[in-house]
């Protein structure tokens, strides 16, 4: 057993991967052979990820606020506290806060053998973001 008493500082989500202001708190990034990666991600209103994929999929658990999520080709879904979202391995998707609400979620994904947990693509346009609103 290992108890982590000091966590890494909160870091801002990189602009190349996010639109708007996003903050990330790392929960778990264990040493090999573990490949689990987990973050609590805090999105300000209107903030969102770029389109991206995870080699082994991703699970989101909404902790607070209200958000939006979309798999490529599917509808934009409203997501709320207590709800979870599962993206399949390699599924192109995005997620973020509602236009007028903060949103925080726990994100859980697994890295591949090279340590890559996500492959990032282009930013979600305002038109794509508001399509389900």
CATH of the domain at 96: 2.60.120.10
**For the chain, first and last CA: distance in Å?**
45
Q: Give me the pLDDT at residue 77, please.
A: 96
Residue 3 lies in a domain: no
Q: Which domain holds residue 108?
A: 11-130
> How many folded domains does the chain comprise?
1
Query: Which residues have a Cβ under 8 Å from the Cβ of 60 and sit 6 or more positions away?
Result: 69, 79, 84, 85, 86, 87, 95, 105, 106, 107, 108
Give the residue ranges of the chain where pLDDT is below 50: none
Whole-model pTM: value is: 0.92
């Amino acid at each position: 057993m290992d108890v982590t008493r000091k966590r890494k500082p909160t870091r801002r989500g990189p602009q190349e991967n996010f639109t708007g202001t996003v903050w990330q708190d790392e929960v778990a990034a264990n040493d090999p052979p573990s490949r689990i990666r987990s973050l609590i991600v805090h999105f300000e209103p209107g903030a969102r990820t770029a389109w991206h994929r995870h080699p082994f999929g991703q699970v989101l658990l909404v902790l607070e606020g209200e958000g939006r999520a979309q798999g490529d080709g599917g509808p934009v879904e409203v997501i709320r506290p207590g709800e979870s979202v599962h993206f399949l391995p390699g599924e192109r998707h995005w997620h973020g806060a509602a236009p007028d609400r903060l949103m925080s979620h726990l994100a859980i994904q697994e890295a591949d053998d090279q340590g890559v947990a996500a492959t990032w693509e282009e930013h979600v346009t305002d038109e794509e973001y508001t399509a389900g609103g």
